[in-house]
Structure 1
Amino acid sequence: MARWRILVSVAVATLTAAAMGATASPAAAAPTGSDDFGAPTTNVVGGTRAAQGEFPFMVRLSMGCGGALYSSKLVLTAAHCVNGTGTNTSITATLGVVDLNSSSKITVKSNYVYRAPGYNGNGKDWALIRLASPVTTLATLPIATNSTYDTGTFTIAGWGAATEGGGQQRYMLKASVPFVSDSTCNSSAMYGGEVIPTDEICAGYAAGGTDTCQGDSGGPMFRTGANGALVQVGIVSWGDGCARRNKPGVYTQVSYFSSAIASAAASLGG
């Protein structure tokens, strides 16, 4: 069964308790988005630690998801990370740091959420979160508006679990993953037709070992575009476990939804 890549609170509790020298249990689960993180590992699903300022558009969301700064006041994330469209002041976005414990982090509350119309858990996995105040000191991440950049080698980054079923990481980590064609990803050896070719794009290694994981949902998958600038091609959506053999990550194909995303962004004030 494919699973979303949103971090569950029990996983956060496990990491927090380990840092405190305690034994975690589901009853003692810490709220998702807690700032009390343990010491980081040196790699997460085949990745390495990102440098401060390397990906300034990266956003950590308090419900246990990632996102990318689409504009100074909008964060692009996954539909499965939010409950629906409407006023929402409960989400905290953390920006501007690779270390979630850094005293220089920027935190901003949400004031509205827009979830993709018609989202029912099968494709259309994108959403926009409007921030209560704009963040003007950080670079945004442009989205792909056509399929030109939907192949090649992509970068993934986030604060998700280091291992399948693990907890959120204190430091942002990054990795590179190759494009996997729709036909290969939907083959019987991989997802057997579960992937929606129009809505989704796959990336990863047949041998496994490098992947996004729980807690990375909603984060961007990106690559170099025109003039050397980065462009977002995917949104972390789902996968069967993490970094398993013949189970690449499945991402929302941003180029397919670019017009709808731009229209929604305009309706939210940019």
Structure 2
Amino acid sequence: MKQLLRAVKRCSVIAAVALAAVSLQPAGASAAPQPVVGGTRAAQGEFPFMVRLSMGCGGALYAKDIVLTAAHCVNGSGNNTSITATAGVVDLQSSSAIKVKSTKVLQAPGYNGAGKDWALIKLAKPIDLPTLKIATNTAYNNGDFTVAGWGAATEGGSQQRYLLKASVPFVSDAECQAAYGSDLIPGEEICAGLVDTGGVDTCQGDSGGPMFRKDNAGAWIQVGIVSWGQGCARPGYPGVYSEVSTFAAQIASAAATL
């Protein structure tokens, strides 16, 4: 079941559920589209660290020349000039969009489709925009989180022109395991969403994008990376995100090699 669920990560259609959390649609699951409720259009400059990647995923500026995204969005590690990162705008068609090509990709060591869902993309030149710091411990793995992306606004729908945002509450490991059983890897993943009602979540095309909240100083801090889920915004099935704090040291070490 794990490989089935994770085979349809939230890439290429991640969207918006209003960003509705990027839910993965397992093969054979009901394909009935479900609108994501609760998402709204982000204001220009509201989340300046957001990046759209040309393969149909999201990401965030970890450094001015490095994008943090999901491992399932890339194909291995090495030199790679095929990815275009778009930043600086909420409207992907804006003439003000900053577009920079990739030079290298570093996929999480040991990634095999389950857990360890993070990757770094080195850019050909720095993007002069604010970066998003990542959590280095679990202090902020609670409360309400913000998700944002250009993914689908309905399950199976098209990706969006405008950046959408939504708020999703933390879901405990126990409650998330009630939905996904052994498919969930509690030590590497964190869940969020409206379990009882559904309606707000990330979706296909939001993969790799950040889940973040404010820290004690009022600054944004990334606690998750959009990874997978069943459908989009379905009741009983929260979104599953890579737990950034688990991999913070590895991410920092990897970034230093790029």
TM-score over 0.5 for the pair? yes
Contact 1:159 1:215 in 2 (8 A): yes
Aligned partner of 1:7 in structure 2 is 12
Deviation at 1:164, TM superposition (A): 0.2
Alpha carbons of structure 1 residues 209 and 215: separation in structure 2 relative to 1, 3 Å: same
Aligned partner of 2:184 in structure 1 is 195
Aligned partner of 2:215 in structure 1 is 225
Return 5+ residue gaps in structure 1 as ranges.
Answer: 12-42
Does residue 83 in structure 1 map to residue 75 in structure 2?
A: yes
Deviation at 1:191, TM superposition (A): 1.1
Aligned partner of 2:233 in structure 1 is 243
Deviation at 1:112, TM superposition (A): 0.1
Aligned partner of 2:21 in structure 1 is none
| Secondary structure of the corresponding residue to residue 255 of structure 2 | helix
**Whole-Å separation in 2 of the counterparts to 1:80 and 1:227:** 32
Structure 1 residues 75-117: Cα deviation after superposition (integer angstroms, max 9, x where no partner): 0000000000000000000000000000000000000000000
Over the matched positions of the two proteins, sequence identity in percent amounts to 71
Alpha carbons of structure 1 residues 231 and 124: separation in structure 2 relative to 1, 3 Å: same
**Whole-Å separation in 1 of the counterparts to 2:188 and 2:165:** 24
**Whole-Å separation in 1 of the counterparts to 2:37 and 2:246:** 28
Return 5+ residue gaps in structure 2 as ranges.
Answer: 16-34
**Whole-Å separation in 2 of the counterparts to 1:229 and 1:90:** 33
Aligned pair partner of 2:135 in 120, 144, 149: 144
Structure 2 letter corresponding to 1:50: A
Aligned partner of 2:176 in structure 1 is 185
Aligned partner of 1:27 in structure 2 is none
Structure 1 residues 12-52: Cα deviation after superposition (integer angstroms, max 9, x where no partner): xxxxxxxxxxxxxxxxxxxxxxxxxxxxxxx9542000000
Aligned pair partner of 1:97 in 89, 94, 109: 89
Contact 2:102 2:122 in 1 (8 A): yes
Mapping for residues 90-169 of structure 1, pairs under 5 Å: 90-136=82-128, 138-169=129-160
**TM-score for both structures, normalised by structure 2:** 0.88
Q: Give the total of aligned pairs.
A: 232
Aligned partner of 1:234 in structure 2 is 224
Greater relative contact order (CA < 8 Å, ≥ 6 in sequence): 2
Contact 1:149 1:233 in 2 (8 A): yes
Aligned pair partner of 1:62 in 23, 38, 54: 54
| Secondary structure of the corresponding residue to residue 235 of structure 1 | strand
CA RMSD in angstroms comes to 1.3
**Whole-Å separation in 1 of the counterparts to 2:164 and 2:65:** 24
**Greater CA radius of gyration, 1 or 2?**
1
Deviation at 1:195, TM superposition (A): 0.7
Ranges of 4+ aligned residues in structure 1 off by more than 6 Å: none
Aligned pair partner of 2:249 in 236, 259, 262: 259
**TM-score for both structures, normalised by structure 1:** 0.84
Structure 2 letter corresponding to 1:228: G
